[in-house]
Chain A
Amino acid sequence: MNTFLVVGGGITGMQAALDLSRLGGKVTLLEREGELGGNVRRLHKLFPRGESAADLLRATRALIEKGNIEVVTGRQIARAAAQPSGYRIELTGNGTALEVRGVVLATGFDPFDPAVIEEYGYGRFKDVLTAFEIEEMMRGGKVLRPSQGTAPGRISFLQCVGSRDRRTNRYCSYFCCTYAIKEAMALKVLHPGAEISILYMDVRTPYLYENLYTEARELGIRFIRSRVSGMYESEGLINLDLENTLTGESQILQSDLVVLAIGGVPSAGTGELAAQFNLPLSDQGFFKIDEFPVTTAAAGVFVAGAASGMKDIPLCLAEASASALQASAFAGETKP
């Protein structure tokens, strides 16, 4: 039986491990944190169908328990040595060593830290939150203004925070438009009277996510084409300076809750892992794909999900399955 290592126990790594096991492999799923789940643990409901993130993780974990998968948490790779038949991997901590035929890197992304964009006031103004923090509030069932504990009446989403900006990251983070629309619609349910605006440069809701965009417009969520140039607090409100580029009017948009639709960056440690497997990185710092969609320049090493660039969950899952198939084929387990 062929052995595989999946690095990263987020939703992508879990799916890759599951598929490798289904294809007949013996899999070690390595997660550096104390439990599986990754970024999805922070989410409330998932687009486009609105299923619960907690339910998805629970169901996937249950399947993993039934598969031929050893889950190792709290450890990372200390050393990786290429061998004729695969890789010899040493783990941190107790010095466990594994011999594997193939490796899937599914190390995901880290949410962009908006504190580096000073003009957005994250960390300075209590009522400026990231979309991930809104998700966590939604999991608790309540989204209130942190400054006062009251219901927000005017909510503004800022798009492309840490994306499409040479000062931070040039790439589009792919999922922010759709998740912002999803969150805006959920907030409309929680606070039906709230005036919700999405401040966008271009709305990118590929394929049928377009339906969400239309639904959001029908719900009365406002879309203002702009890129906020400054933010200040006055009388308990956050004032957003912007030009509505479609009317050409300057505007100060008063908001009592500002949601930063942050993108993602390569997860911490991506560079070290790349060095361990002698893999190149893309200009953006993610793992570089040699052959679309999951094959790298290193024989037997595959990358799935956001570790090779920002993606949404359905794409991550598709790549997880693709990487499992490619790794199995590489190992001679199955023919693609």
Chain B
Amino acid sequence: MTSKSLSVLEADALSIRRKFLKMHFEANAGHVGTGLSDIDILAYIYGKWLRPVDRFILSKGHGASSLYATLHHFGLLPDEDFATYYKDGTLLPAHPAAKALSAIPAATGSLGHGMPIAAGMSYAQKHVHLTEARVACLVSDGECDEGTIWEAALFAAHHRLDNLVVIVDANGLQGFGRTEDVMNLEPLPSKWEAFGFRTSEINGHDFAQIDAAFETPGDGRPHCIVARTVKGKGVTFMENRLEWHYLPMSQAQYEQALEHIGNSETSKGGGR
């Protein structure tokens, strides 16, 4: 999988977006916008970066459905489980559940929890088990309001956890407004830098940039990739719209959304 070309990853991401939209339409479920902003990153992580010994923690638990779609796409989530998404009796609720799926190590959903868990895993692997295992952790930009993100950042930098990579899905929107209006986070890359991370800032929908960021050589510090993304990426009427954090799709909107992502297949634009 490590030899996968970027064009193949783009095709993976398109398939995952289709799968993801279908899931949400059939389940009549919200959180559509947030999934579309992180699918390219997930496609890269599962399509290229993650080795069997490595772990991925979705700290932004509201992105669960995009993770389910990604896991299913790459054969890491069985059809019979995947088909139950959002239904009574499922192991696939709107935020990842504890001990439900072998591919998802930790339940998340209350923001600011995944990153300390990822830091603990990184510490244990590097300093106690003495392995080469790596940990990737995806946080949202709004999640960076949580103090635990920065507690964990201090911890990771202090312990030189260069086996940890934190990706910030910086789509500029949070629960009830734009991040710049609710709680300004900028300059986000220099904040992470100041906390002791080596930092990359990329367009989170451009696989060449994603790949370059993940492949940059380490220098002993943990790595933070600030991925500038678009909430609702690929579906024009959802892009950068707060309401698509919450709304389910009608039949017409679903059909239109499928059309849009098909048309935007080669578009890398939008990362701010």
A binds B: no
Contacts from B to A (Cβ < 8 Å)? none
Contacts from A to B (Cβ < 8 Å)? none
